[in-house]
Amino acid sequence: MVKAIIMGVDGQDGSYLADLLLSKGYDVVGWVPDLDQVSYGNIQHNLSEMTIVKGDYINQESFVDLLDFHKPDELYNLASPSFPSLSWENIIPKSNVIGLGAGRLLEAIRLVSPKTKYYQASTSEMFGEPEDVPQTENTPFHPRNPYGVAKLFAHWLTKNYRSKYDLFAVSGILFNHESPRRGYQYVTRKITRSVAEIKLGLKNELFLGNLDARRDWGFAKDYVMAMWMMLQDEHPDDYVVGTGETHSVREFCEIAFNFVDMDYMKYVKVSDDFYRPVESKQLVANNQKIKDKLMWSPSVNFQELVELMVEHDLNLLKAEKSKS
């Protein structure tokens, strides 16, 4: 039986990856931070099928012990905080987790489990204000927020451990990917939840920032498949993962409200409070490499993604109302 450790198994990506690996017969060890506020909602349906361990991302010894005890075939590093605009708050501790956390994992692999295949969750935020549009694996990086800077450190460290120590270590440079399991602090889930609340008469309006901000949005379930495919290839390499299309927040709102037969312009209000301190520009993936080499492509388009998220939140709120 193949064993995998998923760092951050409780998050959106970690939970979908757990679904995928369990369906393939893996022995899954799910790592979560040793904090009081950890939620198991995303993995409640298969919690009994996994081994859950708790730990601290700034404790090198705990990672060495984790790798030494389990000796996993694969390790997916998905646990770092992933909300770029909030990365301006508490920059030092967050950078310690995002950047040095990857270093601690790679060092633990090198020391006690060098056969472990390692996946690093890199991000399109590393491009920031890119020179090339769309972005490829060779586009120069220019991060515009501390999150992107810390992720870039982890990304380059992964490449260096691969070349210096001959580890099977890869990075997926993932563009925005969403799902019904996305946290409510993200604009996509904020929109779909609010649409459901407005439709059911629970609120009257939705406040957002820049409606013309554009992103390359895909479905998280597709993207964890890409992660897994990277670790099944014969040779470790880095890949850009995205749809190759951009859509605006305004388009997202229009589709979401149309799904419930409502006009977004009647309910969406713009507020300066929700503008990013520094807005990344022209982020769109050139996914040709992963299409050609791993035969990966997205299975869910933008409209389908928005609609499935709205439908989920409608059903969730209806269920909540029926219990009250």
Bridge partners of 6, per DSSP, are: 30, 76
What phi and psi values does residue 20 have, to the nearest 5 degrees? -65, -50
Active site residue 125: yes
Helices 249-259 and 187-199, axial angle in degrees (round to 10): 30
CA–CA separation, 199 and 196 (whole Å):
5
Spot the catalytic one: 26, 57, 107, 125. Answer: 125
Q: Does 267 participate in catalysis according to the annotation?
A: no
10 Å Cβ neighbour count for 272? 7
Token digits for 163?
């070349």
Catalytic one of 116, 123, 188, 243: 123
Active-site residue, selected from the candidate residues 26, 147, 239, 264: 147
CA distance 220 to 70: 27
Does 320 participate in catalysis according to the annotation?
A: no
- How crowded is the C-beta side of 100, counted as CA atoms within 13 Å? 12
Of the candidates 67, 70, 61, 82, the one whose C-alpha atom is nearest the C-alpha of residue 154 is 82
> Residues with catalytic annotation?
123, 125, 147
